[in-house]
Amino acid sequence: MEGAACTTPRRNPARHCLGRVWRSAVLLLPMLLAAAIATSGCDRSEVRFPLRTPQGRQPNVLLISIDTLRPDHLGAYGYGTPTSPIIDRLSASGVRVATCVASAPETAPAMASLLTGMYQYRTRVVANRGTLQAYVSTIAERLQESGYTTAGFIGNTLLGADRGFDQGFEHFEAFRHKNPLAPSDDRGVTLAAAWIAAAPATPWFVWIHLIDPHGPYISAKPSWSDGFTYPADAFGADTPIPPGVGNFGLGIVPKYQQFLGEPARPSDFVRRYDGEIRFADAQLERLLGAIDPADTMVVLTADHGESLTEHDEYFQHGWFLYDTTLTVPLLLSWPGVLPSDTVLERQVSAVDVAPTIYEIVGVAPEAEDATPVDGKSFARALFRPDTPMSGTAFAVGPRENHPFAVRAGRWKLIHTPAGRPAVPTKNYPMHGFDTPERFELYDTIADPGETTNLADRHPERVAELKTALGGFRTKLRMSGRNW
């Protein structure tokens, strides 16, 4: 049978004791298992969708996106510093997707793809200045059409109503503090938890977007990182990084992160970044305490990651398409119905999240006569976590000459077209010089840091991935943009 009683080939390394919320789910286990048997049958191959609550209803869906959250800085993904006890507990109660790839290393295009299941050539949101068009269908719209009550609590103004991200929400509010440097995730969680407690009807869909891990890393008090220790060699020489004259550039601390005084070392920034994660994580305890786990599927992810020291890019995102800024955490938890304490090794794209939610709750992936989605549901793979790593994910850089990336299996190809550089070097202005076309091939398993370009050594692999990337670029060009 499927559900919590399923055996799982690989256990989550960050297993923790079940908390109050999940303990209550365990007490409900016999009832939940009966429901799972009724809906799913007793054979792994016979799991039937949609999945239903013990009362046979569609589940509530709580989508949590956390801005600028690197998966490898969470205990659930193997991080040694205790940044995320609440997220780790959520992971232990559900399925952790090992590799989820954002469509862009920047907020608006990445969230547009996640909320629609579409890449940029359909959403038309290519950079933060973009607006989500009315003709695309979002998770909120599709679930609302299916009878869901919907509410959004958004901590980033780039995802506001004026940018079209309120589509499908009956209740939608931004909770950014008037002072953008002050913490706001506590306020957002308070609003969302209060709405859930008094939800006008069920099932409901709630999207909450937390912001505090985004730089500058001063939302949380330094005390949130008290007691954090790091291996002696975690930061190499830990040489102080010089300040830059603007917000962008390689080898420098961008202006908006210059809050520590100078000189500041990478370890100083990473400790503060980890404290921001711990603060956001702590807020989630109240949010998860407000839901009924038997009736609610929780999906936790991020818009993009953050480059902390890698590739000479310090405490920024939005430039390169390396995994530091492109991979995001992805957890799905519904105790008693979805498998628990399980790792799905398969690679997915953020565009696959919406179709997966649709299949689980029983909503058609697209409205009639609507723009089709790019993503594919991986709902069935949740019950087969030993599914071989597969799937192809694409990404587009939001800056100037738009670098492209394709990640297929263990291989990743990044294509930086000739022209203006994707990133200004040191303090040189962006428009000062051109760079030649460049291809980078990485083996993401043998070289997760993407430090050794294998393009010359594997021309056949480059050719294969170039073909895939070429098809993707053709679609982008057909969308009318000058790519």
Query: Site residues (CB under 5 A) for Zn ion?
Result: 67, 107, 303
Residue closer to Zn ion (CB basis): 6 or 104: 104
CA nearest neighbour of 308 among 219, 412, 215: 215
Strand partners, 332: 95, 299
Cβ-proximal residue to Zn ion, closest one: 107
- Taking the complex as a whole, how short is the minimal distance between the CB of residue 178 and Zn ion, in angstroms? 20
Residue closer to Zn ion (CB basis): 39 or 327: 327
Residue closer to Zn ion (CB basis): 270 or 302: 302
Query: What spatial distance separates the first Cα and last Cα of the chain, rounded to whole Å?
Result: 49
Residue closer to Zn ion (CB basis): 127 or 373: 127
Tell me how far apart the alpha carbons of residues 80 and 89 are, in angstroms, rounded to a whole number: 15
- Taking the complex as a whole, how short is the minimal distance between the CB of residue 225 and Zn ion, in angstroms? 21
Tell me how far apart the alpha carbons of residues 63 and 61 are, in angstroms, rounded to a whole number: 6
Tell me how far apart the alpha carbons of residues 52 and 3 are, in angstroms, rounded to a whole number: 11
Tell me how far apart the alpha carbons of residues 390 and 411 are, in angstroms, rounded to a whole number: 11
Residue closer to Zn ion (CB basis): 107 or 296: 107
CB 123 within 8 Å of CB 114: no
- CA 76 from chain centre, in angstroms, equals 14
Residue closer to Zn ion (CB basis): 313 or 359: 313
- Taking the complex as a whole, how short is the minimal distance between the CB of residue 387 and Zn ion, in angstroms? 29
- Taking the complex as a whole, how short is the minimal distance between the CB of residue 19 and Zn ion, in angstroms? 28
- Taking the complex as a whole, how short is the minimal distance between the CB of residue 386 and Zn ion, in angstroms? 33
- Taking the complex as a whole, how short is the minimal distance between the CB of residue 318 and Zn ion, in angstroms? 9
143 vs 9, 103, 115, 147, 207, CA distance in Å? 33, 23, 12, 7, 12
Concatenate the DSSP letters of all residues of 202-268 into one string: SSEEEEEEE-TTSSSS-SS-GGGGTT----TTTTTT-PPBPBPSSS--SSSB-GGG--S-SSB-HHH
- Taking the complex as a whole, how short is the minimal distance between the CB of residue 190 and Zn ion, in angstroms? 22
Phi-psi label, residue 183: left if phi above 0, alpha if psi -120 to 50, beta otherwise: beta
For residue 163, the number of C-alpha atoms closer than 13 Å in the C-beta half-sphere is 23
Tell me how far apart the alpha carbons of residues 323 and 264 are, in angstroms, rounded to a whole number: 25
- Taking the complex as a whole, how short is the minimal distance between the CB of residue 322 and Zn ion, in angstroms? 16
Residue closer to Zn ion (CB basis): 84 or 107: 107
Tell me how far apart the alpha carbons of residues 6 and 168 are, in angstroms, rounded to a whole number: 35
CB 119 within 8 Å of CB 394: yes
Tell me how far apart the alpha carbons of residues 190 and 155 are, in angstroms, rounded to a whole number: 12
Residue closer to Zn ion (CB basis): 405 or 413: 405
- Taking the complex as a whole, how short is the minimal distance between the CB of residue 132 and Zn ion, in angstroms? 15
- Taking the complex as a whole, how short is the minimal distance between the CB of residue 102 and Zn ion, in angstroms? 9
- Taking the complex as a whole, how short is the minimal distance between the CB of residue 424 and Zn ion, in angstroms? 20
- CA 55 from chain centre, in angstroms, equals 31
Residue closer to Zn ion (CB basis): 67 or 440: 67
Tell me how far apart the alpha carbons of residues 403 and 451 are, in angstroms, rounded to a whole number: 17
Residue closer to Zn ion (CB basis): 303 or 450: 303
Task: Tell the burial category of 97 from Cβ atoms under 10 Å away from its Cβ (0-12, 13-18, 19+).
Answer: buried
- Taking the complex as a whole, how short is the minimal distance between the CB of residue 319 and Zn ion, in angstroms? 13
CA nearest neighbour of 37 among 10, 11, 4, 9: 4
Residue closer to Zn ion (CB basis): 95 or 114: 114
Please state the φ and ψ torsions of residue 452, each to the nearest 5 degrees. Answer: -115, 110
The type of residue at 333 is S
Residue closer to Zn ion (CB basis): 148 or 269: 269
